[in-house]
């Protein structure tokens, strides 16, 4: 595939995250416009509500864009997903007969406020990065050997949808209960080991019935799109609480997603296989398609007052051991109902080399080997005022399918009890 040309000039650049090939879905507002669904195209956004009201963008029997979230499009089903993408491509393509009508429905992306692109029904986080799991084993248990179940099950835990926020939302350092290894008793206060996790988020677009399992291929068809996901983690809170039931408060205070849902359709040309299996997976976990994607990822860190961010890690989504479709299949296999708007975190994405580690825990080896930023400052974990940015893009021939930045800044812990 090569760059598809649009009459929106800024979309015809090899540098833009949002060429005509991409068409990601977000929700935006301006001083004059209420929050509404929009499609990013180059430096602009097509106002879907205006386009629908004008009769330019009608692909279903009922209005899809009378609400400021994408769940109604998802729930309308994959036929609508395909029709919508085809119609948007036709409207925005170079030479389109709709150019004159659509021109007035474009809003400059710069300066708009971006909102959550969908209502997150529930949030589940997985642990499917092999290098990450091995690193965490080496750091926490003194051995990189994987848990006995890891090569057979996509391990996950049920997280909180209530604290999933859109890029640009500040995150307060969480308070919580911790216990230092040499302390006799636990104590309460702000986390001292605040971390990030570089992940992809898969957005489920179709619901399933309670009690009804699905195949991996059905799961693949159910995934509406992907976002970048930062699973903020308080390692000291997590370390004290996690046995025997897994993460709880250490993960519940914030999860940031990038503002644009990049559709599975836009990523289709970038499918990548899961790696060779150490053990053959049980048959229910077998699908017919390559379930990962070749998406280059980067983590940047910018301390308060620094002129620019430092790139601290680069890796690729194709490093994962389990795909989102395999995770979704496993999630539903016992009969758990899945809902349109469910968000699945991939698990931290780390490659083999240290420069590819997707968390500060790994990059600084639990704070024992602090790394240096371009400003000369060093870091083991996050300091107040640090801004973390995740970036990602699938690279085509002269174009890319980008996600837009996934940004969050750490604010000091809140004072509690309030004074």
Q: Of 17 and 125, which CB lies nearer to Mn ion in the complex structure?
A: 125
Q: Of 132 and 400, which CB lies nearer to Mn ion in the complex structure?
A: 132
Q: Of 238 and 318, which CB lies nearer to Mn ion in the complex structure?
A: 238
Token pair of 183, please?
Answer: 């302390």
Q: How many CA within 13 A on the CB side of residue 305?
A: 5
Q: Of 196 and 281, which CB lies nearer to Mn ion in the complex structure?
A: 196
Q: What is the CA radius of gyration of the chain?
A: 21
Q: Find all residues with CB under 8 Å of 243, minimum gap 6, and list them.
A: none
Token pair of 320, please?
Answer: 């994962």
Going by C-alpha positions, the residue among 25, 130, 41 that lies closest to residue 399 is: 41
Say if residue 191 is exposed, middle or buried (CB neighbours under 10 Å; 0-12, 13-18, 19+). Answer: buried
Q: Of 6 and 131, which CB lies nearer to Mn ion in the complex structure?
A: 131
Parallel/antiparallel/unpaired status of strands 194-195 and 187-190: unpaired
Contact (CB, 8 A) for 408 and 171: yes
Q: Of 38 and 159, which CB lies nearer to Mn ion in the complex structure?
A: 159
The rounded distance, in Å, linking the Cα atoms of 401 and 380 is: 32
Q: Which residue is nearest to Mn ion (CB)?
A: 231
Q: Which residues of 142-174 are buried (b: 16+ CB within 10 A; e: fewer)?
A: eeeebeeebeeebbbeebbbebbbbbeeebebb
Separation of CA 193 from chain center: 22
Parallel/antiparallel/unpaired status of strands 387-395 and 296-302: antiparallel
Contact (CB, 8 A) for 413 and 174: yes
The rounded distance, in Å, linking the Cα atoms of 230 and 169 is: 12
- If DSSP codes are grouped into helix, strand and coil, which group holds residue 387? strand
The rounded distance, in Å, linking the Cα atoms of 419 and 416 is: 7
Say if residue 73 is exposed, middle or buried (CB neighbours under 10 Å; 0-12, 13-18, 19+). Answer: buried
Q: Of 105 and 343, which CB lies nearer to Mn ion in the complex structure?
A: 343
Length of the chain: 419
Q: Of 52 and 231, which CB lies nearer to Mn ion in the complex structure?
A: 231
- In the complex, the residues that contact Mn ion under the rule CB under 5 A are 125, 197, 231
Going by C-alpha positions, the residue among 309, 298, 301 that lies closest to residue 383 is: 301
331 belongs to the catalytic site = no
Closest approach, Cβ 157 to Mn ion, in A, equals 9
Q: Which residue out of 132, 152, 172, 330 is catalytically annotated?
A: 132
Q: Find all residues with CB under 8 Å of 164, minimum gap 6, and list them.
A: 116, 120, 123, 255, 256, 257, 343
Query: Which residues are known catalytic residues?
Result: 132
């Amino acid at each position: 595939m090569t760059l598809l040309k649009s009459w929106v000039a800024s979309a015809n650049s090899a540098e833009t995250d949002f060429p005509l090939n991409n068409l990601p879905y977000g929700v935006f507002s301006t001083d004059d416009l209420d929050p509404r669904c929009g499609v990013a195209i180059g430096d602009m956004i097509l106002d879907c509500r205006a386009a629908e009201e004008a009769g330019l963008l009608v692909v279903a029997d009922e209005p899809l864009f009378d609400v400021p979230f994408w769940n109604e499009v998802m729930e309308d089903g994959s036929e609508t997903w395909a029709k919508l993408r085809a119609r948007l491509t036709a409207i925005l393509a170079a030479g389109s007969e709709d150019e004159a009508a659509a021109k007035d429905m474009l809003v400059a992306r710069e300066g708009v406020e971006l909102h959550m692109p969908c209502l997150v029904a529930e949030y589940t986080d997985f642990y499917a990065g092999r290098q990450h799991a091995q690193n965490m084993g080496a750091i926490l248990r003194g051995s990189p050997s994987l848990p006995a179940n890891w090569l057979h099950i996509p391990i996950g835990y049920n997280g909180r949808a209530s604290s999933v926020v859109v890029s640009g939302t500040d995150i307060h350092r969480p308070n919580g209960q911790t216990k230092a290894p040499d302390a006799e008793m636990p104590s309460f206060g702000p986390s001292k080991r605040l971390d990030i996790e570089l992940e992809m988020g898969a957005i489920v677009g179709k619901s399933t019935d309670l009690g009804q399992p699905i195949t991996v291929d059905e799961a693949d068809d159910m995934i509406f799109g992907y976002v970048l996901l930062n699973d903020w983690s308080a390692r000291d809170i997590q370390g004290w609480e996690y046995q025997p039931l897994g993460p709880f408060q250490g993960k519940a205070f914030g999860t940031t997603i990038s503002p644009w849902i990049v559709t599975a359709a836009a990523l289709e040309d970038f499918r990548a296989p899961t790696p060779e299996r150490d053990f053959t997976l049980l048959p229910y976990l077998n699908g017919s398609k390559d379930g990962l994607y070749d998406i280059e990822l980067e983590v940047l860190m910018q301390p308060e007052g620094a002129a620019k961010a430092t790139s601290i890690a680069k890796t690729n989504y194709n490093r994962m051991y389990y795909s989102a479709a395999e995770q979704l299949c496993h999630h539903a296999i016992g009969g758990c109902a899945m809902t349109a708007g469910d968000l699945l975190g991939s698990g931290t994405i780390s490659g083999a080399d240290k420069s590819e580690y997707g968390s500060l825990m790994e990059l600084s080896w639990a704070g024992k080997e602090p790394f240096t930023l371009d400003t000369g400052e060093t870091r083991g974990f996050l300091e107040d005022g640090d801004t973390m940015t995740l970036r990602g893009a699938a690279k085509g021939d002269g174009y890319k399918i980008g996600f837009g930045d996934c940004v969050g800044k750490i604010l000091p812990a809140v004072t509690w009890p309030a004074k």
